[in-house]
Structure 1
Amino acid sequence: MGERMWENSIKLVVVDLDGTLLSRDGILEPQVVGEFRKLRELGIRSIVATGRLTMAAREFAKSIGSDLPIIACNGALIESIDGRILYTTPLKKEVLVDVLNVLKLVPGFHPHFFTPYKMLALRMSEVLRFYMNYVKEEVMVARSLEEIFKERLILKVLLLAETSRLVDRFLPFIKNFLKGKAHVARSFPTYVEIVDPKANKGNALERLLTMLGYDLKSVLAFGDSENDIEIFKKVGFSVAVSNADPSLKKHATYVSRASFGDGVIEGLKLFLGQCS
């Protein structure tokens, strides 16, 4: 693995944030920033592809030197680094009704709804407070369900589970209930993300690279969750960090020994030919 096996192939790095680029506590470590600085010196650019809204991802993208659009909301939104919306794939309103109906059948899940510029919830909860503290963004509590449904674009519903065991138990049921109507993926042990069936990180990346003039096979991608699978299937090279979901590791070119940002560093050093 010490040889410069990808040196002449990789032109672009695509990286997930939570569970991948960021530490367990949601921090971008200086040593990770340093590795991306080396990429810039080599003329290799980077794209952030995340489940977050762009407003919660933009500073991280800028910190690693990215000036390219951000893939947000698991591919339901592509937005320029300066805040211009380039593409959206919103959920249909009837699917939102189906989401609320399935939540009547499974206990312990707390939904909140992503528009391009804000997040809305039906009520405040401890799991929602924990999420807000982690992403350092506010979630607004809507006065009613009607207020949420008046939003023109709802890009994603994030279900926050009270325990990971609830996701283990009910995720297959939720996927089956929404089959053909929505794309459902686990992103954290207690997070379930719901977007339009056509919205995923892989499709969004393909669309964005067509705009930018890059070949998918010249991309090195990093991820940790089920919602990164579609990107891994499309790109030339992929690294699953050690803490990644087993379902993603099956699709990876390489699985790092280290986790979170250290796993990204390991993958980048492998690409740069510096990993013994």
Structure 2
Amino acid sequence: MIKFKGGIMYRLIVSDLDGTLLRDDNTLSEYTKSIIHKVSQQGIEFMLATGRIFGGAKGYAKELNLDTPILSCNGALIKGTDGTVIYGKHIEPSPLTEVFHLLQGKELYFHFYGEENFYTRKLTDYMSRFYDLNKKLEEQERFPIIEVDPFEVAGKDSIYKVLAHCGTEEHERNELYELLKAVPGISVTSSWSNTFDICADQVNKGIAIERYAAEKGINPSEILCFGDNFNDLEMIQYAGMGVAVENAVTLVKETANYVTLSNNEDGVAKAIEKLILS
């Protein structure tokens, strides 16, 4: 715990990964790692909150020497770094099947996450990014990527998130968003300009952080959150200090209390140094 200007005591720092803590090449700078190490040494918890599958985030927790839980799938699944499930809310089979029918009917690419498995309807060029990310992990930490008929998975494995590739045309995005929002039992947000993230209803990073903070006796005023995209909005709103990176979408920057440098300029670490360590 450490004092910040105005006498505020921060006990928890939460950061998104892609587009926020990570540079565009999916790496962490030595400077960022050193700053996170400094705040951890001072008793402030540092937590990762990501739309990724758990297996796609735990390597970064290891690189940062974190022992705090990881909020994966936009908060639908919270697991300890040892893989212990702390909380999970999967999409129920009925709305999940409806989402699959909707996306397949529009011939859109999508993939979806179980607790451990990364499922895809078919292997495409779009998948190359995820294969590359997986290959960079140590062999024992890689997550299984499985090509499967989605309807065979619904009801057999707990699915925590569906990521749908929706293109960049605004009218197409808006139409798909409205169709997805009409499906009962799900929530819809976005972590990239050309995708939608689909989780169970009442799932977002803000709710997940609120749940964790309540169990730890941490007040919102003692929390500092960093993000860049729409799936970070609720945690930016919930935190006593919500910080957007410069490359964030406009709404996140307008909602945040403070805007730092971009993800490629160590924006998270620079803000921590300025707001807490200086």
Structure 2 length as normaliser, TM-score?
0.88
Summarize deviations over 1:75-108 as a string: whole Å, max 9, x none.
110111110111111112121222123324545x
**Aligned residue-pair number:** 267
Q: Counterpart of 1:178 in 2: which secondary structure?
A: helix
Matched residues in 2 for 1:197 and 1:42: separation? 36
Matched residues in 1 for 2:236 and 2:134: separation? 25
Q: Counterpart of 1:238 in 2: which secondary structure?
A: strand
8 Å Cα contact 2:189/2:230 also seen in 1: yes
User: Structure 1 residues 35 and 75 mapped into 2: Cα distance closer, same or farther (>3 Å)?
Assistant: same
Matched residues in 1 for 2:153 and 2:265: separation? 35
| Equivalent residue number for residue 118 of structure 2 | 119
Q: Counterpart of 1:266 in 2: which secondary structure?
A: helix
| Equivalent residue number for residue 84 of structure 2 | 84
| Equivalent residue number for residue 263 of structure 1 | 267
Is it true that 1:159 corresponds to 2:164 in the alignment? Answer: yes
Q: Which amino acid aligns with 1:178?
A: L
List structure 1 segments (4+ residues) > 3 angstroms apart after TM superposition: 104-107, 134-138, 257-261
8 Å Cα contact 1:78/1:87 also seen in 2: yes
Matched residues in 1 for 2:7 and 2:272: separation? 11
Q: Counterpart of 1:228 in 2: which secondary structure?
A: helix
User: Structure 1 residues 243 and 8 mapped into 2: Cα distance closer, same or farther (>3 Å)?
Assistant: same
Summarize deviations over 1:11-58 as a string: whole Å, max 9, x none.
110011111111101111211101101112322111110111221111
8 Å Cα contact 2:246/2:260 also seen in 1: yes
| Equivalent residue number for residue 224 of structure 1 | 228
User: Structure 1 residues 72 and 39 mapped into 2: Cα distance closer, same or farther (>3 Å)?
Assistant: same
Matched residues, percent identical? Answer: 28
Matched residues in 1 for 2:159 and 2:147: separation? 15
Q: Counterpart of 2:191 in 1: which secondary structure?
A: strand
Matched residues in 2 for 1:32 and 1:7: separation? 25
| Equivalent residue number for residue 213 of structure 1 | 217
1:141 to 143, 147, 163: 147
8 Å Cα contact 1:25/1:134 also seen in 2: no
| Equivalent residue number for residue 132 of structure 1 | 131
8 Å Cα contact 1:187/1:193 also seen in 2: yes
Matched residues in 1 for 2:7 and 2:266: separation? 20
Matched residues in 1 for 2:97 and 2:174: separation? 19
Matched residues in 1 for 2:73 and 2:277: separation? 33
8 Å Cα contact 2:226/2:243 also seen in 1: yes
Matched residues in 1 for 2:200 and 2:264: separation? 28
8 Å Cα contact 1:119/1:139 also seen in 2: yes
- Unaligned runs of at least 5 residues, structure 2: 136-142
- What value does the CA root-mean-square deviation take over the aligned residues? 2.1
- Stretch deviating more after TM superposition (20-29 or 204-213): 204-213
Q: Which amino acid aligns with 1:264?
A: V
Matched residues in 1 for 2:134 and 2:205: separation? 20
Structure 1 length as normaliser, TM-score?
0.89
Matched residues in 2 for 1:36 and 1:188: separation? 25
Q: Counterpart of 1:82 in 2: which secondary structure?
A: coil
Matched residues in 1 for 2:204 and 2:177: separation? 15
User: Structure 1 residues 135 and 9 mapped into 2: Cα distance closer, same or farther (>3 Å)?
Assistant: farther
8 Å Cα contact 2:121/2:147 also seen in 1: yes
User: Structure 1 residues 125 and 139 mapped into 2: Cα distance closer, same or farther (>3 Å)?
Assistant: same
Matched residues in 1 for 2:265 and 2:54: separation? 20
8 Å Cα contact 1:111/1:157 also seen in 2: yes
What does residue range 105-116 of structure 1 map to in structure 2 within 5 Å?
106=106, 109-116=108-115
User: Structure 1 residues 26 and 72 mapped into 2: Cα distance closer, same or farther (>3 Å)?
Assistant: same
